[in-house]
Amino acid sequence: MKVYQTNEIKNISILGSSGSGKTTLAEAMLYEGGVIKRRGNVESGNTVSDYFPVEKEYGYSVFSTVFSVEWQGRKLNFIDCPGSDDFIGGAVSALNVTDTALMVLNAQYGVEVGTINQFRYTEQFHKPVIFVVNQLDNDKADYDGTIAQLRDQWGSKIVPIQYPVSTGASFNAVVDVLKMKMYRWKPEGGVPDVLEIPAEEMDKAMELHKALVEAAAENDDVLMEKFFEEGTLSEDDMRAGIRAGLVTRGMFPVFCVCAGRDMCVRRTLEFLGNVVPCTDKMPRPVTTTGIEVTPESDGSTSLFFFKTTVEPHIGQVSYFKVISGKVKEGDDLVNADRGSKERIAQLFSVAGQTRNAVTEMVAGDIGATVKLKDVRRGNTLNGKGCDYRFDFIKYPDPKYRRAIKPQNEADAEKMMEILMRMREEDPTWVIEQSKELKQTIVSGQGEFHLRTLKWRIENNDKLPIEFFEPKIPYRETITKAARADYRHKKQSGGAGQFGEVHLIIEPYYEGMPAPDTYRFGGQEYKISVRDTQTVELEWGGKLVFVNSIVGGAIDARFLPAILKGIMGRMEQGPLTGSYARDVRIIVYDGKMHPVDSNEISFMLAGRNAFSTAFKEAGPKILEPVYDVEVSVPSDYLGDVMSDLQGRRALIMGMNSEKGYEKLLAKVPLKEMSTYSTSLSSITGGRASFTMKFASYELVPSDVQEKLLKAYEATQSED
């Protein structure tokens, strides 16, 4: 493969809902580009894109796949992304390193929830979008309905470049209103016959051609003037206008394909080669220090690694984009994130698991290398004198969590090694070893996502594991002030132990005034603050420790021991053993012994005084509550809302968004355990949701009662 220059390279993501035919389209493109001699298919498990065992087992894409096609003197780098929302991480990574999105639609279903979700990411990253209506040979294909749905969503920016003469089993021809020709295929597809547009199609073709000319002219002032003067534009002018419209997202062209029969794939590649902007015409990536980096082959060498996989007999394969400069075999580079040095022993242009060795790659190109010592996804490698660092990929928060453990406890360490390795391959898996819950928690994008993880661990790594519902990280707090004192006294032979602590506890909130006077049991306690210490608790909330000792009742050197004793009890609250938070403690009196008082005595006295007061201070359990946003088709709104209310949700609002309703709610984490599965079941997979931690809130009294009983049962068992 020749070395392509920056202005000859185009980077394109292939997006679309599950079942839209992305992998089949990728296969047809590879075939048309001469990369493969025979097209595989998903059913046979022999496609270039889906080559991992789990993908062959389930028949769907789990990982994004990089491949390239040389077409008319240009290199088209593609990243074929999984369609399921559970594997959205692949699409997010791809969109960050490509310049254009090819959004594939199934002509039977038109615009699906997956289409809308993925389009939102193109919007977020400001990427051009080209729609491709696929599977037009299906009996239920509805091209006109799909165009109507696209326009409902994105209005006049939707501009068809082709339309099918007929759909269903008879599909074999499209009218191209940019070329103003009809393309017709023999049953085997491939190279079409290029014909004049039939008379019966001419009125429709001229109407769409005129709309395309106007849309192209709108994106360039010079072209607009020319259009007003001449009333039309040449084909080259239209291409320039479409390119300008793509870059600014002022228009979204629509193409037709039947990827399974290799119809219109060549024409789509031709358009991508001629019209899609090259990487040097797109916005510049920005370093962590705010520097815009121009993709120039004579600039400083800088590579960004956006994906890693672990493959049998090879080990780690690392995928990168050349952000600046050029990289050659044998180059020594420095890892800007980890400080280590790396040698690029081999460079590859890839097509799935096929790697073709190349000697050099320049700015804008996408490639792979193997056997790097210390490079992780998200790292930047730089040449001499370059200190760029990039960190522009942000992944969505997880939505589904499960506790995980190996069937054999002795395999716990091995399981963690596997999980951390797998997280490198899919960063939307979040692994947490919770000291609080005493569980290993795996969080992902849905049940489907975690089921795939389980399959891979059990089949690839031969390690049986179990999933079960994780514990909830409750918090404990108090709702009123209380007072307690405790004397720790112990005498056994020689030196004894003695410490006495008197304290008051109360709920803490930000900005509350300093303590003054309290009344308990008819007795008044006046507080004189000598010192205040605020502890930011690592599990959230605060502990405020106030020293109000007067007259030297307790020596100042024992106060840290008292605080240590209290902190020990904060880590295991008396109600459910959960972390306690948002408490102010005022130590106002006590006693000590000139010989027997020591740190351990005051630590135990402080701990027990705090525990006694906590139980008298109206203790309450807090639960984590999440902000949940659900995008649901209008006809399922009632069922989804009813289901949420059954989960103790507080509906915060809703708004309509072109055929979809967006529901905003606050929902306790406890109730979200099975939500992704239920939502999919209720809506037939047509809804999606996001969730993000919001706050800790008091649990209802009936729920608290159940939690207390459950905790007491575990304590009695122990």
Six-digit token string for 131: 């729609």
- pLDDT level of residue 718 (50, 70, 90 thresholds): low
User: CA-CA distance, 323 to 396, in Å (whole number)?
Assistant: 24
User: CA-CA distance, 167 to 147, in Å (whole number)?
Assistant: 14
pLDDT at 658: 66
Q: What angle do CA 254, 260, 265 make, to 5 degrees?
A: 45
pLDDT at 301: 96
Q: What is the mean pLDDT of residues 275-285?
A: 88
Residue 469 vs residues 401, 404, 439: alpha-carbon distances, Å: 8, 9, 10
> 3-state SS of 604-633?
HHHHHHHHHHHHHCCCEEEEEEEEEEEEEE
pLDDT at 584: 97
Q: What are the chain's domains?
A: 6-194+250-281 (3.40.50.300), 302-382 (2.40.30.10), 400-471 (3.30.70.870), 476-618 (3.30.230.10), 621-703 (3.30.70.240)
Identify which has the larger pLDDT, 499 or 680: 499
User: CA-CA distance, 468 to 486, in Å (whole number)?
Assistant: 42
User: For 464-498, how does the pLDDT look when each residue is reduced to its tens digit (9 = 90+)?
Assistant: 999 999 999 999 999 999 999 999 998 776 678 99
Q: Please, are residues 524 and 518 in contact by the beta-carbon 8 Å criterion? A: yes
DSSP result, 503-520: EEEEE--TTPPPP-EEEE
Residues of the chain with pLDDT > 70: what percent?
99
Q: Give bridge partners of residue 309 from the DSSP assignment.
A: 317
pLDDT at 631: 87
- pLDDT at residue 178 tops 90: yes
User: CA-CA distance, 304 to 292, in Å (whole number)?
Assistant: 14
Its pTM stands at 0.83
- pLDDT at residue 210 tops 70: yes
- pLDDT level of residue 117 (50, 70, 90 thresholds): confident
- pLDDT at residue 58 tops 80: no
- pLDDT at residue 454 tops 90: yes
Six-digit token string for 85: 């929302």
Helix (H/G/I), strand (E/B), else coil: 432? strand
Report which DSSP code applies to 405.
E
Query: Considering only CA atoms, which of 162, 159, 141, 140 is closest in space to residue 151?
Result: 159
The DSSP element (H or E) to which 91 belongs, if any, is: helix 88-97
pLDDT at 595: 87
The DSSP element (H or E) to which 644 belongs, if any, is: helix 637-645
- One-letter amino acid at 206 equals M
Identify which has the larger pLDDT, 615 or 55: 615
pLDDT at 717: 61
Six-digit token string for 647: 């989960």
Report the mean per-residue pLDDT for the chain: 92
Query: Considering only CA atoms, which of 619, 618, 620, 622 is closest in space to residue 668?
Result: 622
Helix (H/G/I), strand (E/B), else coil: 635? helix
pLDDT at 660: 78
- pLDDT level of residue 716 (50, 70, 90 thresholds): low
Q: What is the mean pLDDT of residues 365-386?
A: 94
Q: Give bridge partners of residue 655 from the DSSP assignment.
A: 662
User: CA-CA distance, 145 to 138, in Å (whole number)?
Assistant: 14
Helix (H/G/I), strand (E/B), else coil: 112? coil
